[in-house]
Structure 1
Amino acid sequence: MKDLDVRGQACPLPVVAVKKALDEGGPLRVLLDDGAPRENVRRFAENRGFSVAEAPCEGGYAFTITGSAAAPAPTAPAPSGRGTVMLIGTDRLGDGPEELGRLLMKNFIMTLVETSQLPDRMYFVNTGVLLTAEGSEVIEALTALGNRGVEVASCGICLDFFQKKDKLAAGIVTNMLTIAESLVTAGSVVRI
């Protein structure tokens, strides 16, 4: 069994290091911090068909990852080489006045629910994650998009930065490795 210590590393380094180690094969013991690294590494491994056993250890957690890679779980954002990915990096639309930009973003997302052509995945980064957290005026619309099959996911490190991870109200938490893989394999990318 290989040992890997990724404590103290910022997103996406723990997931990238675990991916490389798992690509080499064999069971893996990973030492990692609580919070986003713990959540992201677990989700990454389980979505690829590995079993994850966890135990607290000094300075964080120890994961024992076993099994072999399988097809991603149905709920995992799976790079498909087709489909549309929407990257939303702000809570407003356009470069004009802030109030107008927020109104435009709200109207854009609410209107998107009514369109016949939807993106396959919507990734929220930077201040875009504020749209997926409690208090956002578009939670109902994002939930409706999710119910229509759109993967709605927010960057975990961004949620942590704005202290909104425990206030996520629409979609799931994701990591930069998943976002990057999805962007480079998408049929088309729309950046908002």
Structure 2
Amino acid sequence: MDLDCRGMACPAPVVSVKRALETANGALRVLLDDGAPRENVRRFAEGRGYQVQEEVQDGAFALTITGAGAAAVAAPQAAVAKTGPAVMLIGTDRLGDGPEELGRLLMRNFIITLLDVAEVPDRMLFINTGVLLTAEGSEVLEALEKLGNRGVEVLSCGVCLDYFHKKELLKAGAVTNMFTIAESLTTARTVVRL
């Protein structure tokens, strides 16, 4: 089965591939633009147990996705929600309302303090100005790296990084997409929003 996702913006390539994999019999060949679309689809497929082979074709990237994938893909949402991850959604580089400088100080202190709490989230999702915390120049990069070493998955929205011209300056965690963010939030056992 062939699927052309060139020119699609996030999260359309991942959603299209997900739908195609649900009905595909055999290999799925996907044409994608370089950058976030290629990375997001690869991460999505591999994260669900598929094998991915990549080649350049007609100025685009062709990913061939094969294998049975994980059975969990088709699991009912209710069953997943009971055992899903604890997720922290960070949508800003500040904590609370009030003076910007104070808000940035509070956010820095909060993230550093997470290193000393017994239970940390399984996944931290950074969106909007929150992605500035994961990019070069952030005061919490060391803390985020230590959280990552403790098993916390640190993910930053690719569209947001592009918007702030920070994608090449990402220093903590990995780039993600809106499909993964939405899926993480809807299958989480708990969500903390900052």
Q: Same fold (TM over 0.5)?
A: yes
1:55, 1:155 → 2: CA distance?
25
Change (3 A) 1:35 1:79: farther
2:139, 2:81 → 1: CA distance?
29
- Counting matched residue pairs gives 186
- SS of the equivalent of 1:136 reads coil
Following superposition, the deviation at residue 70 of structure 1 comes to 2.5
Change (3 A) 1:71 1:163: farther
| Aligned residue identity for 1:14 | P
1:80, 1:125 → 2: CA distance?
25
2:118, 2:67 → 1: CA distance?
41
Which residue of the partner structure matches residue 90 of structure 2?
A: 88
TM norm structure 1 = 0.91
Greater displacement, 154-163 / 118-127: 154-163
Following superposition, the deviation at residue 83 of structure 1 comes to 3.7
Which residue of the partner structure matches residue 182 of structure 1?
A: 184
Structure 1, unpaired ranges of 5+: 73-77
1:1-192 alignment, distance < 5 Å: 2-25=1-24, 26-70=26-70, 81-192=83-194
RMSD of Structure 2 on Structure 1 (CA): 1.7
Following superposition, the deviation at residue 59 of structure 1 comes to 4.1
CA deviation profile, 1:119-177 (whole Å, cap 9, x unmatched): 11110011111101111000011111111111111111211221212211111111111
Counterpart contact for 1:79–1:181, Cα < 8 Å: no
1:181, 1:82 → 2: CA distance?
10
1:160, 1:10 → 2: CA distance?
12
TM norm structure 2 = 0.90
1:65, 1:79 → 2: CA distance?
27
Structure 2, unpaired ranges of 5+: 73-79
Counterpart contact for 1:79–1:182, Cα < 8 Å: no
1:70, 1:30 → 2: CA distance?
19
2:47, 2:165 → 1: CA distance?
26
Sequence identity percentage: 69
Counterpart contact for 1:153–1:173, Cα < 8 Å: yes
